[in-house]
Structure 1
Amino acid sequence: MKRARSYGKHEDIVLRAHIELSRSLTKIRAKETSWLGDRDLTLPQFGILESLYHLGRLTVGQITTLTLSTPGNITVVIKNLQSKGLINAKPSEEDRRIKILEITEKGSSIIQSIFPSHVENLSGWYDKALSEDEIKTLSHLLRKLEKAQ
């Protein structure tokens, strides 16, 4: 195989770390997406349900930020969740332009039933490769990287 061009010792290290991080996230997301698909949910739908379940009522803007989504995409996901009867959206009493989202009983029931298995899956995927201390270190380093941006 052809050897990649070098961009400098430090830069090559950064590129390798970035590639490995991207590959790892892509593989984990693919497993997550497949698992959720078997439960008739998409990853964005799950993100909204999970946020509303754990945090309570939120605005569309807050959900967009929490789920790292875009306003255009989140609108479609919200409509799909509403049509499934998993969330409700209503105008804010203070500002009618703002929509407040809340999880329905049906949505809560679904999250309650699948979230423990979701956490178990994540633990299994990480535990296959990393010790608990390594997972803590990874979390700390990723948070540090996120805050630096």
Structure 2
Amino acid sequence: MRPYLLVSATLILLAGCVPVSVYHKAGGTLTRLQNDEVNCQVQALQKVPVNKITRITPIRTLPREVCNSRGHCRIVYMEFGGDVETYDANLPLRQKVEAQCMINKGYQQIELPICENRPTTLPGTMPGLTTNSCAVKTKTGYRAATPG
């Protein structure tokens, strides 16, 4: 197996072990959480609007030696870069404003492992957290759950 394939396979396997960030308020309802999240997202977007910036990555020319089967070598020059990238310069600040809004509504932002190969209970109200708590993926994002 080529080294880059091995590294890619390893990263995919490890991705399941990475914790995810969720908002949680013990005893709160999932419906209220979803409403609060949307309201905080809208409020953050109003306070910190999208600021799309387009840039072109620098072009670099690097020499590379290329040899044929007879051992004859020559230098070729390869160009890298020149890619057009667009990003939202205000995204980090908007995410902070949204998080602050959720904290002001009584939620805490926590990191939990993703529930895998375990039955989980996702009741209408958010459970109290335990050492076995994990995050389950729903239509509206990851939510805290209790294995059971």
Band of TM-score, shorter chain: under 0.3
If asked which structure has higher relative contact order (CA below 8 Å, sep 6+), I would say: 2
Normalization by structure 2: what TM-score? 0.27
Whose helix fraction is larger, Structure 1's or Structure 2's? Answer: 1
Whose strand fraction is larger, Structure 1's or Structure 2's? Answer: 2
